[in-house]
Amino acid sequence: MRASAGVGGCPMETQDNFAILAPLIQLSFAAVFYWLQRTGIASAWRWGLAYGLSALAALLYLPPFDPAIQTVLSDACYLVAYSMFAEAILARHNQPLRRMVRTIVLLAFLGLDLIAVMVFDSLALSVLAIDTGVGVLLGFGLLAWRQMRSSVDITLGLCALLSVAINLLSAITYGLVFPAQVEVAQVFGTEYAYVMQLTGSVFGIWFGLSALATYSLDAMARYREAADRDPLSGLLNRRGFDVLTKPLIKQGLGGALLTVDIDHFKQINDRYGHDAGDLVLIGLADILRSTLPEKAIIARFGGEEFVVVLPQAPLSEGGALAHAIRVTCAGHDWRPAGIDRQVTVCVGVAEANLDEETWRPAFNRADTALYAAKEAGRNQVMFARNDRLQPISRSAA
């Protein structure tokens, strides 16, 4: 929040304490965000720069030099700082940064401030220009409001909204309704400066803690995602598979389940090496992603075994997609992976019964069908239908 001048007065000792406390708080947040940047969180620099400039804006009033120059330099830092706060919010929600528009707005309000300070020597006009400018620039961040879905993001958005409102109210109150009849040199020792330093400290802490909370939640989401993913293929692992599929059974949705296994995978590893084997696993994962519909839940359970759940899909749809996977894999060119032979898969297909409480029975049936397909000569798709195993014709669509 911008510290400037206004009307009335406040205890000088109290205001001196805020004059030191506020920039220390801001510098602390700047240091934390700088550290986050160094640890690999690329977007943290925006918050760090914003807090660093806010601290500099307050500290510029401490050295004894021309008050007019102090005010203009400090106001410029505040404008850039709040523009960066807005950019940090926009960047978090993948919204257009609108840097050109923000720069034009920033220069326009800084120009008005220069006229207010250098030409009219009027703190009231300076307050009107800068507090309005700060509110407008931070308001750009609110363009991401519709993308703020988590409670922490909404809290951050509310903080920005209240900060915009307070700055605009301050501009109206101290710039128009009760204009300060003082000169630029009388920047401290006023009611306005006290109020803005107090609210600035409170909102600075709220803003900073909310931003840090968003990074904490992002980190937790990344760790949770990593715990649910197979690092080689990028598909779900068994844990992630269970997390996504358990609710389907509880909701009585059911669906088709496929188990996919690469034929003679050990021979591939032995002949071409484990690096080539890894490329085959990655390649099959890509085939599954490209062949299956978006609703499919795809997991690698370990080794060369993959499992697919097609929510609410009948057995016939599962069979058709299993056939497509088999044909695509058999026709794939594996030479870029260093393999000069055909790579094939077997697929077992089963359907979850609505009276089953887990996917385990359907998985067991599909697994039985899978091994029956391997025994039938490999490069096969086998149904588990009504406790019977039924192969799918090689010409099936």
Per-residue confidence (pLDDT) for residue 76, from 0 to 100: 97
The string of pLDDT tens digits covering residues 337-358 is: 999 999 999 999 999 887 777 8
Report whether 7 contacts 178 (CB < 8 A): yes
Closest CA to 116 of 66, 187, 184: 184
Q: What is the pTM of this model?
A: 0.68
Structure confidence at residue 185 (pLDDT): 52
pLDDT attached to residue 64? 83
Q: Provide the H-helix boundaries in the chain.
A: 12-38, 44-59, 67-92, 99-114, 123-139, 151-172, 191-227, 238-250, 265-272, 274-291, 315-331, 360-375
Enumerate residue ranges in the chain where pLDDT < 70: 1-19, 178-196, 386-388, 390-397
**What local confidence, expressed as pLDDT, does residue 183 receive?**
56
359: which 2 tokens?
Answer: 């996917």
> Bridge-partner residues for 255, per DSSP?
311, 352
Residue type, 371: Y
The rounded distance, in Å, linking the Cα atoms of 52 and 34 is 10
Residue 12 CB contacts under 8 Å (≥ 6 apart), including other chains: 188, 189
What percent of the chain is predicted at pLDDT more than 90? 54
Q: What is the pLDDT of residue 180?
A: 56
Tens digits of per-residue pLDDT, 318-332?
999 999 999 999 999
Q: Which residues pair with 391 in a beta bridge?
A: 382
In Å, what is the CA distance from 87 to each residue of 102, 103, 128, 157?
Answer: 9, 11, 23, 13
Whether the CB-CB separation of 117 and 126 falls below 8 Å is answered with yes
For each of the domains in the chain, give its residue range(s) and CATH number, in order of start: 12-227 (1.20.1070), 238-391 (3.30.70.270)
Helix, strand, or coil (residue 6): coil
pLDDT at 193: 65
Check residue 220 and give its pLDDT. Answer: 81
pLDDT at 273: 94
Q: How far apart are CA 32 and CA 122, in angstroms?
A: 37
